[in-house]
Amino acid sequence: MNPEELQRIAAEELQAKSAAKHRIGVCTASGCLSCGSREVLKAIEQEAAARPEANLRIEGVGCMGLCSRGPLVMVQSGPVPAENSGAGAETAFLFKELTPADAPALVAYLEQQKSDPPTVAAGSTASSLAAKRCDLSAPFFRRQVKVVLEQFENIDPERIESYLAAGGYRALLDCLHHRRPVEIIDEITRSGLRGRGGGGYPVGLKWSTVAKAGAFVPQAGRSSRQSAGATAADRPDGPRKYVICNADEGDPGAFMDRSVLECAPHRVLEGMAIAAYAVGADFGYLYVRAEYPLAVERLRKAIVQAEKRGLLGRNIGGSAFNFQVEIRLGAGAFVCGEETALLASIEGRRGQPRPRPPYPAEHGLWGCPTLINNVETLANVAAIINRGADWFAALGTEKSKGTKVFALAGKIKNTGLIEVPMGISIHEIVHEMGSGEVGGIKAVQTGGPSGGCIPAEHFHLPVDYESLQAEGSIMGSGGMIIMDEGAAMVDVARFFMEFCVEESCGKCAPCRVGTTQVLLLLEKIGRGEGTAADLGQLEELCHLLQQTSLCGLGQSAANPVLSTLRFFRREYEQLLVDNTGKSNETDGSQSPQQGPQEVKK
């Protein structure tokens, strides 16, 4: 496909959309599907078929954010907004919690072509519809700035034409026909984009490292038996580089990447292709966890569609650039999100990390230079190319540019997916967007099992990589769990440590055994049997994990404990046994580590 063809298809699609009086988009991401959006879509389609004069266009679209209130349905009228304009349609209504029973009222209302939204009238169905209307001027919607999630309400994830109409693949063709790889890397570097998987490493720097590395003939693993999982086609004779999309999202409570993959698979593919062109790779892997079946299905579809349109495969967009993408399914091991473990897994070996350096950028998949970027990172790429580094760099803070997608969960009214500019305060997210009760919220947990808890007193802080890190937490991939006064922080720490115990791969001793020992101590303290010495031991073990573990999983596994100790130490101390009273009646210098065991005949 060349740029003219792309333009034509996009125009046709837009025209078809504009021909309808109203466009109804029903969310078909996992969240809404799980509460019955498929049935709602069918009901609306049936109703619309019965009333062709209503002139409705109905499609399944992507996530609209308020996931806890699904199924969500967006109704838009008037001309389709210009691509990348950031503007919404002329009129747009968002309905929450729709059921198939609401379909007749909705279609009947639209058929009447009233310009007002449905009001609470005498009619019972109309009034129920009115009650389900969301206020799009509420902070939850108004405060969002969408780059990664842009146009999700207009994109049918299963049709490439829909993505093309939303301006898709224009950036890729632009790169292939008008820009040299070094210019693209420069654009990304100037944009200030940083890795969205949690680490925050400058993306441009990573790209240029891979670009500068010499291509390499793929090497079999140390033992040929170990690489038996890989097919011969994966490893041709010539030297090469790889691009890998890390879609092994595994933090409890985080589903940003899943949503992006389900709602705009082409956006990720486009990002991968641009990255591959920029760094000189011709082969890519999408490493997705098998627990995301819908994402995998849509990615598969998207790859076939893109190949058919000549946007993946050989001579992309009529250029000399070849790029082939394959999907690799992860079996759900959290550690496989760590890049060296991910590489081992793709190579068909046990998913275990290895010490870095060498970094994958120089010595990656089968020894070849490999670029590994997270889903959200790659989903930013096309927008940066389309609108320029300066536009992107104007979003966010000095060191953290752009936006970040968060999965909001916990004790707030509005939970779901949001995209906000970096630098927004935690207060704005929790209390304004999330409508969390001021005074009732105790802390927010960011970064999942690698992150920490930030107490309400610090909610004025801006959300950016450095600020969160200074508080002992991390940006992480974007999970945000809001906790109220009922949350016991020792329990919170224990929950995340249980996760790390389950997910430790077992390669290095501190993580393999240390996580279990930390968990035992947390359980003991939680039962009210811990001593001051136990608390000391807990901290010592946490520091050991941080300092001596092999990979990021172990190094950050203690963060939830250390951060709750930092801000909520009293909660730990209140649970301790009075050391001077009971257990230490003698003048011994050491206190016993463990109380007497219960007697059993």
Partner 1 sequence: MSGGRVITLQIDGRDCGADENQTILEVAQENGIFIPTLCHLNGLHPVGGCRICMVEVEGAPRPLPACVTHPAEGMRVTTDTPELRRRRRLILELMLAEGNHVCAVCVVNGHCELQELALQLGVDHLEIPALYPRREVDASHPRFGLDRNRCVLCTRCVRVCGEIEGAHTWDVMGRGLKAAIISDLNQPWGEAESCTACGKCVQVCPTGALFEKGKATGEMVKRHLHLPLLTAMRKEEEER
Partner 2 sequence: MSGRLRVATVWLDGCSGCHMSFLDMDELLLELAPRLELAYSPLVDRKEFPDRVDLALLEGAVSTPEDEAKARLVRAHSRLVVALGDCACQGNVPALRNRLDNEQLLDLVYRQQADGPAAAPPDRNVPPLLTHSLPLHRVIAVDLFLPGCPPPPAAIVRALTAVLDGETLSELPTLKFG
The amino acid present at 31, given as its one-letter code, is G
Q: Is residue 167 helix, strand or coil?
A: coil
Contact between residue 172 and residue 313 where contact means Cβ atoms under 8 Å apart: no
Query: Please, is 19 exposed, middle or buried when counting C-beta atoms within 10 Å of its C-beta (0-12, 13-18, 19+)?
Result: exposed
Judged by CB under 8 A, the chain residues 519 through 538 that form the site for partner 1 are 520, 537
Contact between residue 587 and residue 580 where contact means Cβ atoms under 8 Å apart: no
**CB 454, min distance to partner 2, A:** 37
C-alpha dihedral (536, 537, 539, 544), degrees to nearest 10:
150
Three-state secondary structure string covering 80-116 = CCCCCCCCCCCEEEEECCCCHHHHHHHHHHHHCCCCC
> For residue 7, what are its two tokens?
């333009």
In the bound state with partner 2, the residue whose beta carbon lies nearer, of 555 and 579, is 579
Strands 416-421 and 403-410: antiparallel
**CB 247, min distance to partner 1, A:** 21
* Residues pairing with 289 in the sheet: 330
In the bound state with partner 1, the residue whose beta carbon lies nearer, of 155 and 333, is 333
Q: Which does 233 bind (CB under 5 to 8 A by kind): partner 1, partner 2, none?
A: none
Q: Which does 410 bind (CB under 5 to 8 A by kind): partner 2, partner 1, none?
A: none
**CB 352, min distance to partner 1, A:** 8
> For residue 585, what are its two tokens?
């009646």
In the bound state with partner 1, the residue whose beta carbon lies nearer, of 144 and 549, is 549
Q: Which does 516 bind (CB under 5 to 8 A by kind): partner 2, partner 1, none?
A: partner 1
Q: Rounded to an integer, what distance in angstroms lies between the CA atom of residue 171 and that of residue 84? A: 12
In the bound state with partner 1, the residue whose beta carbon lies nearer, of 189 and 517, is 517
Rule CB under 8 A: is residue 506 a binding residue for partner 1?
Answer: yes
Rule CB under 8 A: is residue 248 a binding residue for partner 1?
Answer: no
Q: Rounded to an integer, what distance in angstroms lies between the CA atom of residue 134 and that of residue 131? A: 8
Q: Which does 232 bind (CB under 5 to 8 A by kind): partner 1, partner 2, none?
A: none
**CB 531, min distance to partner 2, A:** 12
Choosing from 397, 403, 450, 504, the residue that interacts with partner 1 (CB under 8 A) is: 504
Under 8 Å CB-to-CB from 268, ≥6 apart: which residues? Answer: 245, 247, 260, 261, 286, 299, 375, 378, 379
In the bound state with partner 2, the residue whose beta carbon lies nearer, of 53 and 585, is 585
What is the pattern of x (binds partner 1, CB under 8 A) and - over residues 197-226? -------------------------xx-xx
Q: Rounded to an integer, what distance in angstroms lies between the CA atom of residue 409 and that of residue 426? A: 14
**CA of 383: how far to CAs of 149, 195, 423, 564, in Å?**
11, 15, 20, 38
In the bound state with partner 2, the residue whose beta carbon lies nearer, of 137 and 597, is 597
Q: Which stretch binds partner 1 (CB under 8 A): 29-37, 249-257, 458-466, 543-551?
A: 543-551
Contact between residue 514 and residue 546 where contact means Cβ atoms under 8 Å apart: no
**CB 237, min distance to partner 2, A:** 53
* Closest of 3, 380, 458 to residue 202, by C-alpha: 380
Q: Rounded to an integer, what distance in angstroms lies between the CA atom of residue 342 and that of residue 356? A: 13
Contact between residue 531 and residue 590 where contact means Cβ atoms under 8 Å apart: no
Q: Which does 149 bind (CB under 5 to 8 A by kind): partner 2, partner 1, none?
A: none
Under 8 Å CB-to-CB from 291, ≥6 apart: which residues? Answer: 332
**CB 594, min distance to partner 1, A:** 6
Question: Where are any strands of DSSP class E within 504-560?
Answer: none
**CB 441, min distance to partner 2, A:** 41
Per the rule left: phi > 0, alpha: psi between -120 and 50, beta: everything else, 97 is left
Choosing from 32, 261, 344, 544, the residue that interacts with partner 1 (CB under 8 A) is: 544
Q: Which stretch binds partner 1 (CB under 8 A): 112-120, 388-396, 430-438, 545-553?
A: 545-553
Rule CB under 8 A: is residue 594 a binding residue for partner 1?
Answer: yes
In the bound state with partner 2, the residue whose beta carbon lies nearer, of 124 and 586, is 586
> What's the CA angle centered on 445, arms 439 and 448, to 5 degrees?
165
Rule CB under 8 A: is residue 517 a binding residue for partner 1?
Answer: yes
Q: Which does 239 bind (CB under 5 to 8 A by kind): partner 2, partner 1, none?
A: none
Rule CB under 8 A: is residue 503 a binding residue for partner 1?
Answer: yes
Counting residues that bind partner 1 (by CB under 8 A) gives: 38
Bond into 100 cis (ω within 30): no
> For residue 196, what are its two tokens?
């969205």
Q: Which does 52 bind (CB under 5 to 8 A by kind): partner 1, partner 2, none?
A: none
Q: Which does 68 bind (CB under 5 to 8 A by kind): partner 2, partner 1, none?
A: none
Rule CB under 8 A: is residue 592 a binding residue for partner 1?
Answer: no
**CB 528, min distance to partner 1, A:** 17
In the bound state with partner 1, the residue whose beta carbon lies nearer, of 46 and 547, is 547
The footprint of partner 2 (CB under 8 A) covers: 584-586, 588-594, 596-601
The amino acid present at 227, given as its one-letter code, is S
In the bound state with partner 2, the residue whose beta carbon lies nearer, of 549 and 584, is 584
In the bound state with partner 2, the residue whose beta carbon lies nearer, of 357 and 588, is 588
Three-state secondary structure string covering 278-304 = HHCCCEEEEEEECCCHHHHHHHHHHHH
Contact between residue 150 and residue 402 where contact means Cβ atoms under 8 Å apart: no
**CB 596, min distance to partner 2, A:** 5
* Closest of 266, 480, 492 to residue 382, by C-alpha: 266
> For residue 103, what are its two tokens?
């379909």
Q: Which stretch binds partner 1 (CB under 8 A): 91-99, 250-258, 350-358, 577-585?
A: 350-358
**CB 483, min distance to partner 1, A:** 27
**CB 589, min distance to partner 2, A:** 6
Alpha-helix runs per DSSP H in 329-464: 339-346, 375-387, 389-393, 426-427
Rule CB under 8 A: is residue 229 a binding residue for partner 1?
Answer: no
* Binding interface with partner 1 (CB under 8 A): 222-223, 225-226, 333, 350, 354-355, 357, 501-510, 512-517, 520, 537, 540-541, 544, 546-550, 555, 593-594
